[in-house]
Amino acid sequence: MKVGIIGAGQVGATLAMRVVESGIGDCVLLDVVEGLAQGKAIDIQDASSIVGHENLITGTTEYRQLSGSEVLVITAGMSRKPGMSRDDLVKKNYGIINSVTNGIKSVCEDPIIIVVTNPLDVMTYCVRKLGNFSKKKVMGMAGTLDSARLKNIIAEVLDVKRGEIETFVLGCHGDSMVPLISRTTIKGRPIRDIASAEELQRIIEKTRKRGAQIVRHLKTGSAYYSPSAGVIEILRAIRDDSNKILPVSAFLDGEYGIKGIYLGVTAKINRGGIGEIIDIGLEKDELADFRASSLKTKKTLEIVLDEMEKTK
């Protein structure tokens, strides 16, 4: 499988390394900064004989090099800085996403597109709207990352193994995300049988604030190791045509009573992109939180829609 990655910053470059070293396939890494993608691609390729793979990685500034890519991943955009919310990024990253989408349309007819740029749910909407792509072909990576963070925090708080935990995080990629405690198990046992209400609330809050915690520590950027791993999980499901159920940001057209926005839900992922959105059933309070999360996304989306009107 050929994977194109647009944006050779920390997330893009780390993802490119994971793509070739994990056996996903060949990779083209693109960035508008002359030499950035080329230098990182050469560096990653030089490790191939040590790591032990034959996949190829190319760095470029030219969109034509993305031709033939089955999947494109958009990581281009500004990252958050301390004190900046994901919503603060919307106007600046909208301009970048607009340019990237035009570049994609010029060389790729029908790719699967995974968006990582924040605010993720809104930027994913922009890619589909600006490019007039199929809703099945455009998705955002957030749920796989947020679910992994939730698992890690559960393991820390309850002193259990991460591999024994099953869980999902849905909703907006931000402070209003919805960790599904009702669907969380440890070695098959409901987490509510193991953790106290106080511990559960602490787990939820730590999960919602994990991204901001990383930003505070880094000071000049945001997370990249775990977001790149979140994309890899989606890429594997696409490559294997597995129909694996994963949490992704998908376009809702009536599911959960919500229409016209992108939001984190569980979906079957296969070689065609999003095969089907799966309503896994939410408890009453979780559904209320999910709908509240959708309202926050709609509010941010209004900023983007205004920008679209200005640039018509």
Q: Which residue out of 86, 173, 206, 210 is catalytically annotated? A: 173
Is residue 72 located within the same domain as residue 47? yes
> Which residue range(s) make up the domain with 231?
143-305
Q: What rounded mean pLDDT belongs to the chain?
A: 95
Taking only the tens place, the pLDDT of each residue in 96-143 is 999 999 999 999 988 999 999 999 999 999 999 999 999 999 999 999
Instruction: Assess whether pLDDT exceeds 80 at residue 86.
Output: no
Taking only the tens place, the pLDDT of each residue in 253-264 is 999 999 999 999
Instruction: Assess whether pLDDT exceeds 70 at residue 87.
Output: no
Is residue 6 located within the same domain as residue 147? no
Does 312 fall in a domain?
Answer: no
Note the pTM of the prediction, 2 decimals: 0.96
Is residue 236 located within the same domain as residue 249? yes
pLDDT at position 109, please?
Answer: 84
CATH at residue 165:
3.90.110.10
Does 311 fall in a domain?
Answer: no
- Domain C-terminal end among 112, 140, 168: 140
From residue 221, how far is each of 75, 94, 290 by CA, in Å?
13, 19, 28
Is residue 41 located within the same domain as residue 159? no
Is residue 134 located within the same domain as residue 150? no
Q: 115 phi and psi, to 5 degrees? A: -100, 135
Cα–Cα distance measured from residue 163 to residue 311, given in angstroms and rounded to the nearest whole number:
48
Is residue 178 located within the same domain as residue 89? no
Is residue 111 located within the same domain as residue 182? no
217: annotated active-site residue = no
Is residue 73 located within the same domain as residue 190? no
Is residue 154 located within the same domain as residue 115? no
CATH at residue 111:
3.40.50.720
pLDDT at position 221, please?
Answer: 84
Taking only the tens place, the pLDDT of each residue in 216-239 is 999 888 999 999 999 999 999 999
Cα–Cα distance measured from residue 4 to residue 295, given in angstroms and rounded to the nearest whole number:
32
